Amino acid sequence: MLELVELTKVYPGATAPVVALDRVSLTVGRGEIFGVIGRSGAGKSTLIRCINLLERPTSGTVRVDGQDLASLDTRALNAARRDIGMVFQHFNLLSSRTAFDNVALPLEIAGRKPAEIAPRVAELLELVGLADEARRYPAQLSGGQKQRVGIARALANRPKVLLCDEATSALDPETTIQILDLVADINRRLGVTVVLITHEMNVVRRIAGKVAVLERGRMLESGAVYDVFTRPQSETTRSFVAETVGYSLPAALRATASRHPGVGAATLLRVDLTDAAAREPLVSELSRRFALDLNIVAGRIDEIQGRPFGSLAMIAAGKPDCIETAIGHLRQRNVHVEVLGHVPADDRPAA
Amino acid sequence: MSRQMIDLLLEALAETLAMVGAAGAVAIAAGLPLGVLLLISGKGHILENRPVNVVAGALVNAVRSTPFIILLVAIVPLTRLIAGTSIGTQAAIVPLSIAATPFVARLFEAAMREVDPGLIHAAQAMGATRLQIVLKVLIPEARPGLMAAATVMLIGLIGYSAMAGAIGGGGLGDLGVRYGYQRFLPEVMAAVVVVLIVLVQAVQSLGDTLVRRYSRR
Ligand SMILES: Nc1ncnc2c1ncn2[C@@H]1O[C@H](COP(=O)(O)OP(=O)(O)O)[C@@H](O)[C@H]1O
Ligand SMILES: [Mg+2]
């Protein structure tokens, strides 16, 4: 549906040229919700703006539904843009128009007749749950309502692709969830392909099926959301993961363990829980099979797309070679285990 | 004040209104496209074109920096060409329009510059043409600012129209100078000033009301 090949964008910049995108390639399938996550300045907005050519790529190609937009003349480009809806962080609604007339704008631009426009707008406002607010001006709407108008407007010309540039970043957490669920619902009902960019892990986690991680214009990794976040390849991805399932160990414990690396009679372990590990009675199994006492000191378990995902920190006490075997056993079953150090009996902080 | 004096005053008021009204209409009609051109031919805008921007800007600045009294005399041949005469109320409309147009064009440009660039991006993403962006986004979104600009321009024109009396333009200014100054009738001068104050107040209030009416922020 959407194909970016070796996309590069260089801005002139005030002093030196800024490479906002560095040979980014990715493919988004029809009907997918594709998330692009990255810190501020990573090049996310540039990426999404290159898709509808609000920004001209320096090199590389963008194909939407097989069509290379850069090859089109102005007229054809404008027509192609009607097949790509866009939702903005700051809504970008016309303050001089009511909710109704804002949603009507793309239809007017496409040259639709008023008789066609009115029922279509009513239908769209109904879809986003704003039928009662049609006559209100943006200044009279809440942030969440404004974004609903923005979404209705983006869908007006029945686009094949919906681009969301930080669509929830100006909203509070509760409203964020409502808007994300609306986007997911629209994706399901209308089959529209969604590309959403964000700096928030929770946004991707909630609705995206696939994700690409962007940093300084480079794509670090991409794939199914569950895979990318359960097996992060880069520090950046790990830091995003830590935002949702992160926890901090008691500082004293952490300090002690780091002074005594390796396995000892009481070893501090971090065990990542993914599908396999989280479904099984891991703790009791280890305890029984390897004669260990397991004391969970910190942890967090969450879900990505209904699949468990998290991490536990525990102190395993027992014979050091039994602990080694237990670690080997876990690793053999593809459970990620990290030995954070051990805690000698005379150096054990009061728990 | 005599009946005759009041008639003179009313007649002068009508002439002023005619001059300001006609020149104001021309200035708005010509100044809006000129203001749009100044804005959208600027750097990074939707019709970026440096030569056009520089030439239009220079022209506007040239007219704006010419004192009105000099402009009045300098363009007499043009005035004669357009109005058929160089004296009278009708003739005064020509220099008044020429002075007011670049002035209001700059104010219009500034008002439209205040429109959030995000709205232009949104329209571009919808596949809007440049004309559609101007007509459906820039102008409607800047409407309160455009109205405030037109108000400022109209009030300026009221003052300028008094000077146009110098080429026999008639109007309140002319009346004040001829009767009040040359014939030394201070009460006529005072009456003229009072009428002008009321006129300016009325235009300002009307302008403010319209600005408020169309502000939706
Ligand atoms: N119009 C521009 N001119 C110059 N530099 C820009 C422009 N737009 C973005 N940049 C730079 O490109 C980089 C990526 O920006 P952006 O795509 O907005 O990142 P993000 O959306 O991930 O925060 C940043 O370093 C930013 O300063
Ligand atoms: Mg951004």
Which domains does chain A show, CATH number per domain? 2-244 (3.40.50.300), 251-347 (3.30.70.260)
Q: How far is it, in rounded angstroms, from Cα A44 to Cα A34?
A: 13
Neighbours of ion ligand 2 (CB under 5 A): A 45
What pLDDT is recorded for position A285? Answer: 86
Ligand 1 near A11 CB (within 6 A): yes
DSSP H helices, chain A, are 44-51, 74-81, 99-109, 114-127, 143-155, 173-190, 201-207, 225-230, 235-245, 251-259, 275-279, 282-289, 320-332
CB A217 within 8 A of CB A21: yes
| B116 CB within 8 Å of a chain A CB | yes
Q: How far is it, in rounded angstroms, from Cα A331 to Cα A329?
A: 6
Band (A47; pLDDT cuts 50, 70, 90): very high
Q: Which residue has the higher pLDDT, A343 or A121?
A: A121
Q: Taking 70 as the threshold, does the pLDDT of residue B165 lie above it? A: yes
Q: Considering only CA atoms, which of A124, A21, A159 is closest in space to residue B125?
A: A159
The mean of the pLDDT values for chain B is 93
Percent with pLDDT over 90 in chain B: 78
What pLDDT is recorded for position A187? Answer: 97
User: Mind listing the pLDDT tens digit for each residue in B70-85?
Assistant: 998 899 999 999 989 8
What average pLDDT score do residues B5-28 get?
94
| Phi, psi for A6 (deg, rounded to 5) | 50, 45
Residue in B119, B126, B132 nearest the CB of A81 = B126
What average pLDDT score do residues A16-22 get?
95
Q: Taking 70 as the threshold, does the pLDDT of residue A345 lie above it? A: yes
Residue in A92, A109, A137 nearest the CB of B119 = A92
Q: Taking 60 as the threshold, does the pLDDT of residue A155 lie above it? A: yes
Q: Taking 90 as the threshold, does the pLDDT of residue B149 lie above it? A: yes
Percent with pLDDT over 70 in chain B: 99
What pLDDT is recorded for position A344? Answer: 86
Q: Considering only CA atoms, which of A130, A199, A133, A214 is closest in space to residue A168?
A: A199
Identify the three-state secondary structure at position B32.
helix
Q: To which residue do tokens 């200014």 refer?
A: B173
Residue of the CA atom closest to atom 27 of ligand 1: A41
The mean of the pLDDT values for chain A is 92
Encoding tokens for residue A323? Answer: 């602990």
Encoding tokens for residue A39? Answer: 């810190």
Ligand nearest to the CA of A214: 1
Ligand nearest to the CA of A37: 1
Percent with pLDDT over 70 in chain A: 98
Ligand 1 pocket mutation pick from A46, A56, A203, A213 by most atoms within 8 angstroms of CB = A46
Encoding tokens for residue B92? Answer: 């005064």
Identify the three-state secondary structure at position A163.
strand
**Torsional sign, CA B58, B61, B65, B67:** positive
CB A275 within 8 A of CB A307: yes
Q: Taking 80 as the threshold, does the pLDDT of residue A349 lie above it? A: no
Encoding tokens for residue A234? Answer: 């880069």
Q: Which residue has the higher pLDDT, A248 or B57?
A: B57
Identify the three-state secondary structure at position B114.
coil
Residues of B whose CB is below 8 A from A108? 136
Q: Which residue has the higher pLDDT, A284 or A150?
A: A150
What pLDDT is recorded for position A212? Answer: 97
Least confident of A157-166, A199-208, B120-129: A199-208
Q: Taking 70 as the threshold, does the pLDDT of residue A348 lie above it? A: no
Distances (CA, A) of B195 to A121, B10, B12, B173: 51, 10, 10, 11
Q: Taking 90 as the threshold, does the pLDDT of residue B168 lie above it? A: no
Ligand 1 centroid–CA A174 distance in Å is 29
Written as one letter, the residue type at A47 is L
A vs B, Cβ pairs < 8 A, gives: 64
Q: How far is it, in rounded angstroms, from Cα B136 to Cα B33?
A: 14
Q: Taking 60 as the threshold, does the pLDDT of residue A350 lie above it? A: no
Domains in chain B: ranges and CATH: 17-169 (1.10.3720.10)
Least confident of A17-21, A89-93, A342-346: A342-346
User: Mind listing the pLDDT tens digit for each residue in A250-259?
Assistant: 888 888 888 9
State which H helix or E strand residue A213 sits in: strand A210-215
| A283 CB within 8 Å of a chain B CB | no
Cα dihedral A319, A325, A327, A333, rounded to 10, equals -150
Q: How far is it, in rounded angstroms, from Cα A257 to Cα A238?
A: 21
Encoding tokens for residue A140? Answer: 């009279």
What pLDDT is recorded for position A60? Answer: 95
Ligand 1 near A41 CB (within 6 A): yes
CB B170 within 8 A of CB B88: yes
User: Mind listing the pLDDT tens digit for each residue in A264-295?
Assistant: 889 999 888 877 666 778 888 888 998 899 99
What pLDDT is recorded for position B167? Answer: 67
Encoding tokens for residue A79? Answer: 């027509």
Cβ–Cβ gap A52/B125 under 8 Å? yes
Give A30-77 as a DSSP string.
TT-EEEEEE-TTSSHHHHHHHHTTSS--SEEEEEETTEEGGGS-HHHH
Written as one letter, the residue type at A62 is V
Beta bridge partners, A35, equal A196, A211
What pLDDT is recorded for position A258? Answer: 87
| Phi, psi for B152 (deg, rounded to 5) | -60, -45
What average pLDDT score do residues A126-142 get?
97
Q: Taking 70 as the threshold, does the pLDDT of residue B24 lie above it? A: yes
Cβ–Cβ gap A96/B143 under 8 Å? yes
Band (B125; pLDDT cuts 50, 70, 90): very high
What's the ipTM?
A: 0.91
| B119 CB within 8 Å of a chain A CB | yes
What pLDDT is recorded for position A347? Answer: 62
Residues of B whose CB is below 8 A from A81? 124-127
Encoding tokens for residue A222? Answer: 């991409």
What pLDDT is recorded for position B21? Answer: 97
What pLDDT is recorded for position A305? Answer: 76
Give B41-53 as a DSSP string.
TSTTSTT--HHHH
User: Mind listing the pLDDT tens digit for each residue in B37-78?
Assistant: 999 999 999 999 999 999 999 999 999 999 998 998 899 999
Q: Which residue has the higher pLDDT, B209 or A312?
A: B209
Q: pTM of the prediction? A: 0.89
Q: Taking 90 as the threshold, does the pLDDT of residue A302 lie above it? A: no
| B43 CB within 8 Å of a chain A CB | no
State which H helix or E strand residue B99 sits in: helix B89-113
Residue of the CA atom closest to atom 7 of ligand 1: A11
